């Protein structure tokens, strides 16, 4: 049996052949293994196999660590919608043996009170160098954390993305009172760690493109363990000698970063992605804990029925916005694509857990009186921001024709009868509180909260309709100018 175990473990670790980057020298060598995940989004069914893998590796390797590159929360109602928000995720991360996590933008979705509770619950630190929590309830996190591998100290520097508004991609109300600095500029303040310790790793939630910029500006970094862009880097990127790694999302892969130290300097570095489903063993105690959290009967209640698969952002967005217009008695509603968190609802029962996976953010419904012209400003600004169709409507449709050669994009809006909308007419428009706070648009009306969440709208709408069908409901289209393809 022991021989079979080692054969299975070897097969798992050899599924991908890592690229090895060397700087040869002589001296005493030390091997360090860092298992890394990012953008888990409250997924819980991989922890038992992660723990099994880590424990198996430790039988032959003394220095094995587990790190998370942010976005541990948002995406699973069994974690996000329980009374003590987020607690199951941290409990499982504790049991799996995580060493450190950096902040991701979705950590703030919990709200500052619950996030501080989760940080206090964790038996590992959350790090971030480019955050100032000020006088908020959130305690100031350490900017970096030191891994200890015998006599070697390995600093991990935490960095978090910020958007054009100067905050991470979360509801602005969730980060009220907190200030964030540019992560690339902030990184420069900590480069002395490389001189002090002989090595330096960045644990980031920036996205792979920004990680490449980070490596370009600071080639003294040894490795960047990244997140945010959900990139599956089966072959790591080598940028100016800096190894950039990332392991996709939702616990589909575990990254295995291997560092060979000569003294306190990295001599060789390699990374491989291990598909979680290829790990056939699991830790029984962690598996039992995950099953306990995933067996909450409240979320098994049926809210409605889908008469056929509801697939893609357009159809799912149409369901969500129809629920908003119905619940708010509005004429028009909009949902941003980024707030649609699953790819499809299968035909059959739609359960509460499906609704909370589709829409996990708890956004409030805000009602506005907007002119046709003001609605147009919202749609055009969202297009300029995303360079694509972003807002899915109810109660209307629209097309945007791309600009080019110095010409601006052209918006055409139509009411339900197919007639052009009146730019001067006032329409009753329902928006999520995220769109209301994070999007730029003209509006004289400041909006009124309906004291309903968008999930409440879906539950009530499905209870009223009972059966719903959405197929090929493309209410928003992007067109090329005439004469182009």
Express the helix, strand and coil content of the chain in percent, nearest 5 each. Answer: 30, 30, 40
Q: Which of 19-28, 310-319, 336-345 has the lowest mean pLDDT?
A: 19-28
- Looking at the chain, the whole-number percentage of residues with pLDDT higher than 70 is 94
For residue 143, which of 160, 162, 158, 164 has the smallest C-alpha distance?
A: 158
SS3 288: helix
Instruction: Tell me what the mean pLDDT of segment 22-45 comes to.
Output: 84
Distance from the Cα of residue 47 to its chain's centroid: 18
* Tens digits of residue pLDDT in 219-242: 999 999 999 999 999 999 999 999
pLDDT at position 248: 93
In this prediction, residue 5 carries a pLDDT of 45
pLDDT per position as a tens digit, 144-191: 999 999 999 999 999 999 999 999 999 999 999 999 999 999 999 999
CB atoms within 10 A of CB 295: 10
List pLDDT tens digits, range 82-100. 999 999 999 999 999 999 9
Looking at residue 399, what is its pLDDT? 97
User: Has residue 26 got a pLDDT over 50?
Assistant: no
Angle at 388 between CA 317 and CA 316, to 5 degrees: 10
Percent of the chain with pLDDT over 90: 83
pLDDT at site 18: 62
Given a contact cutoff of 8 angstroms between Cβ atoms, the answer to whether 455 and 362 are in contact is yes
For the range 160-166, what are the long-range contacts, defined as Cβ-Cβ under 8 Å and sequence gap of 24 or more?
160/70, 160/102, 160/103, 160/104, 160/105, 160/128, 160/130, 160/131, 160/204, 160/205, 160/206, 161/105, 161/205, 161/206, 161/207, 161/210, 161/228, 162/130, 164/385, 165/438
Does 482 have pLDDT greater than 90?
no
pLDDT tens digits, one per residue of 469-478: 999 999 999 9
Residue 247 has pLDDT above 70, yes or no: yes
Q: Please, are residues 371 and 428 in contact by the beta-carbon 8 Å criterion?
A: no
pLDDT at 11 over 70: no
pLDDT higher than 60, residue 17:
no
Separation between Cα atoms, residue 41 and residue 79, nearest integer Å? 9
Q: How many CB atoms lie within 10 A of CB 232?
A: 13
Non-local (6+) Cβ contacts of 149 within 8 A are: 30, 32, 62, 63, 261
For residues 118-139, average pLDDT: 98
Mean local confidence (pLDDT), 19-32: 69
pLDDT for the residue 7: 44
Q: Across the chain, what does the average pLDDT equal?
A: 93
Is the pLDDT at 447 greater than 80? The verdict is yes
Mean pLDDT of 443-462: 92
For residue 242, with 0-12 CB atoms within 10 Å meaning exposed, 13-18 middle and 19 or more buried, which class applies? Answer: buried
Binned at pLDDT 50, 70 and 90, residue 20 comes out as: low
Read off the pLDDT band of 295 (50, 70, 90). confident
Q: At CA 52, angle to CA 47 and CA 58, rounded to 5?
A: 125
Mean pLDDT of 44-60: 96
């Amino acid at each position: 049996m022991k021989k079979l175990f080692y054969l299975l473990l070897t097969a798992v670790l050899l599924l991908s052949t890592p690229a090895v980057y060397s700087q040869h020298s002589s001296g005493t060598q030390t091997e360090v293994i860092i298992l890394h995940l990012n953008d888990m989004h409250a997924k819980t069914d991989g922890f038992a196999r992660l723990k099994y893998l880590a424990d198996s590796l430790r039988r032959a390797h003394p220095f094995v660590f587990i790190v998370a590159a942010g976005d541990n929360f948002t995406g699973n109602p069994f974690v996000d919608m329980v009374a003590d928000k987020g607690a199951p995720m941290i409990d499982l991360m504790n049991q799996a043996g995580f060493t450190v996590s950096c902040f991701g933008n979705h950590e703030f979705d919990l709200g500052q009170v619950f996030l501080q509770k989760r940080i206090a619950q964790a038996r590992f630190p959350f790090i971030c160098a480019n955050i100032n929590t000020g006088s908020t309830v959130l305690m100031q996190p350490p900017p970096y954390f030191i891994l200890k591998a015998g006599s070697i100290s390995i600093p991990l520097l935490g960095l978090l993305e910020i958007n054009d508004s100067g905050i991470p991609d979360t509801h602005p109300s969730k980060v009220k009172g907190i200030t964030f600095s540019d992560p690339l500029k902030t990184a420069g303040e900590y480069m002395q760690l490389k001189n002090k310790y002989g090595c330096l790793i960045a644990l980031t939630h920036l996205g792979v493109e920004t990680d490449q910029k980070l490596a370009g500006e600071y080639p003294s970094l040894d490795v960047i363990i990244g997140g945010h862009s959900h990139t599956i880097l089966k072959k790591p990127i080598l940028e100016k000698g800096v190894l950039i790694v990332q392991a996709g999302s939702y616990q589909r892969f575990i990254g295995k970063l291997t560092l060979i130290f000569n003294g306190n300097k990295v001599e060789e570095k390699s990374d491989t992605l291990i598909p979680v489903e290829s790990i056939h063993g699991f830790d029984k105690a962690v598996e039992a804990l995950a099953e306990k959290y995933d067996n909450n009967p409240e979320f098994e209640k049926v809210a409605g029925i889908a008469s056929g698969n509801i697939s893609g952002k357009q159809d799912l967005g149409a369901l969500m916005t129809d629920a908003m217009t119905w619940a708010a008695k509005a004429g028009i509603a909009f949902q941003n694509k980024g707030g649609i968190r699953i790819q499809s609802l299968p035909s059959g029962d739609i359960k509460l857990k499906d609704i909370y996976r589709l829409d996990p953010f708890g956004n409030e419904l805000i009602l506005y009186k907007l002119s046709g012209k003001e609605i147009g400003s919202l749609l055009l600004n969202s297009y300029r921001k995303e360079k694509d169709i972003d807002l899915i409507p109810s109660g209307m449709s629209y097309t945007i024709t791309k600009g080019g050669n110095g010409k601006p994009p052209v918006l055409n809006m139509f009411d339900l009868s197919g007639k052009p909308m009146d730019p001067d007419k006032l329409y009753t428009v329902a928006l999520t509180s995220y769109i209301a706070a994070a999007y730029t648009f003209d509006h004289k009306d400041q909006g009124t909260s309906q004291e309903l969440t968008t999930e409440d709208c879906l539950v009530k709408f499905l209870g009223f309709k009972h059966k719903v069908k959405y197929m090929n409901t493309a209410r928003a289209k992007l067109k090329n100018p005439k004469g182009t393809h």
